[in-house]
Amino acid sequence: MELVVLAEPLSVFQIHDVKDIDLSVRPLYLGLTQDELSVVAPTTAVPEQTVNREDGWRAFKISGVLDFSLVGILAKISSLLADESISIFAISTYNTDYVLVKEENYHNAVAALQHANYTVITAD
């Protein structure tokens, strides 16, 4: 399986209202629930005012379009990284999944995934 590393550093943050962000920014993930509005976006695009903010994330995109019948893809990756004491922030979209790790764990994550025979395409 091939994983592509997104080039830009990302931030995970919360805001009060969707009007506070630039919806043209890519990548952009919005999670709107009864309790919160969470956003993942390039660190350079984070608005000045946030409820909570955590910078320093790197993202691995699972290449291709994943069929909904596929089982265990995200579970296997998260388990491999958990074995290396690397926590993740996972995002699923209609087409694929993204696995975010903190910058300080990025190189260890790449090594663990490559050791498990994943192809990791990096911008490095």
Could you tell me the residue ranges of all domains in the chain? Answer: 2-121
- What's the pTM? 0.91
> What pLDDT sits at residue 63?
86
Q: Which residue has the tokens 């000045």?
A: 48
Determine contact, residues 5/19, Cβ cutoff 8 Å.
Answer: no
Specify the pLDDT at position 98. 95
Higher pLDDT, 105 or 67: 105
Q: Tell me: cis bond preceding 42? Omega within 30 of 0 counts.
A: no
CATH class of 2-121: alpha beta
